[in-house]
Amino acid sequence: MEDQQLWPDGVQVVWLDDVTDSQRNLDLEWQLGEAVARGERPPLIRVWRAANRPGIGVTRRDVAAGQGEQAAARLRQAGWDVVVRTTGGTAVPQGPGVVHVSYLFPRTERRATTDAYYRLLTRPLLAWLAQLGLAGDTGSVPGSYCDGTYNVLVGGRKLVGTAQAWRGGLAGTRSNRPGYVLAHACMPVDVDVDWATDLINRFYADSGSEYRVQRETFTTLRQLAPERFSGMTPAECTAWVAERWVEWYRRWA
Pattern 135-174, another protein, x by CB under 8 A: -------------xx-------------xxxxxxxxxxxx
Tell me how far apart the alpha carbons of residues 150 and 191 are, in angstroms, rounded to a whole number: 21
Within 113-132, the residues that bind another protein by CB under 8 A are: 113-115, 118
Are the C-beta atoms of residues 27 and 140 closer than 8 Å to each other?
no
Q: What are phi and psi of 16, to 5 degrees?
A: -140, 115
Among 16, 64, 78, 127, binds another protein (CB under 8 A): 64
Candidates 146, 160, 196, 242; catalytic one: 146
Q: Assess 37 for contact with another protein (CB under 8 A).
A: no
Within 94-113, the residues that bind another protein by CB under 8 A are: 113
For residue 246, the Cα-to-chain-centroid distance in whole angstroms is 15
Q: Assess 208 for contact with another protein (CB under 8 A).
A: no
- The nearest distance, CB 139 to another protein, in angstroms, is 14
Is residue 146 among the annotated active site residues?
A: yes
Tell me how far apart the alpha carbons of residues 197 and 209 are, in angstroms, rounded to a whole number: 15
The one-letter code for the residue type at 103 is Y
Are the C-beta atoms of residues 98 and 25 closer than 8 Å to each other?
no
Give the dihedral sign, CA 85/88/94/96. negative
Catalytic residues: 146
Residues that bind another protein (CB under 8 A): 59-61, 64, 86-88, 113-115, 118, 148-149, 163-175, 177, 179
